[in-house]
């Protein structure tokens, strides 16, 4: 487990392009009492549960919840580093990178 995985959050694990469904897994182990609270939102997936593995990206085995249940699970577990917060951080970084790229390109001069 790397340093970032010691923080409890849900990370994107699998994308099923057949159904446009995203599946998420927890990044850390949780106590049994917590597992019992979120169990209704999780299912144990195996490759056989997916219709066409050629159109599935990521892990196809393990306990996962679907994207529509992520916010419920985060609330139950009191996850601070929510998926929404992660998306906002990523968007902010991408915007800054794009702005820097635009500035660099505008400052280039071509001498012929």
pLDDT at position 110 is 63
pLDDT at position 1 is 44
Beta strands in 1-112 (DSSP E): 10-16, 21-26, 42-45, 56-58, 62-66
For 73, the enclosing helix (H) or strand (E) is helix 70-77
pLDDT in tens, 57-67: 999 999 999 99
Specify whether the CB–CB gap between 44 and 62 falls below 8 A: yes
pLDDT in tens, 62-93: 999 999 999 999 999 999 989 888 888 888 88
- How far apart CA 23 and CA 70 sit, in angstroms, is 9
pLDDT at position 32 is 97
- Flag whether pLDDT at 37 surpasses 80: yes
pLDDT at position 85 is 85
pLDDT at position 47 is 96
Q: Among 42, 35, 33, 32, which residue's Cα sits nearest to residue 68?
A: 42
pLDDT classification of 48: cutoffs 50, 70, 90 = very high
The domain locations on the chain are 9-107
pLDDT in tens, 7-36: 899 999 999 999 999 999 999 999 999 999
- How far apart CA 2 and CA 7 sit, in angstroms, is 10
């Amino acid at each position: 487990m790397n340093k970032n995985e010691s923080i409890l959050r849900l990370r994107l694990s699998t994308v099923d392009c057949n159904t446009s469904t995203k599946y998420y897994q927890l990044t850390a182990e949780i106590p049994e009492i917590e597992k019992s609270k979120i169990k209704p939102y999780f299912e144990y997936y195996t490759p056989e549960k997916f219709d066409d593995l050629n159109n599935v990206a990521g892990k196809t085995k393990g306990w996962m919840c679907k994207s529509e249940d992520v916010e419920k699970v985060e609330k139950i577990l009191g996850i601070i580093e929510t998926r929404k917060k992660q998306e906002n951080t990523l968007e902010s970084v991408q915007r800054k990178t794009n702005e820097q790229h635009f500035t660099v390109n505008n400052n280039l001069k071509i001498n012929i």
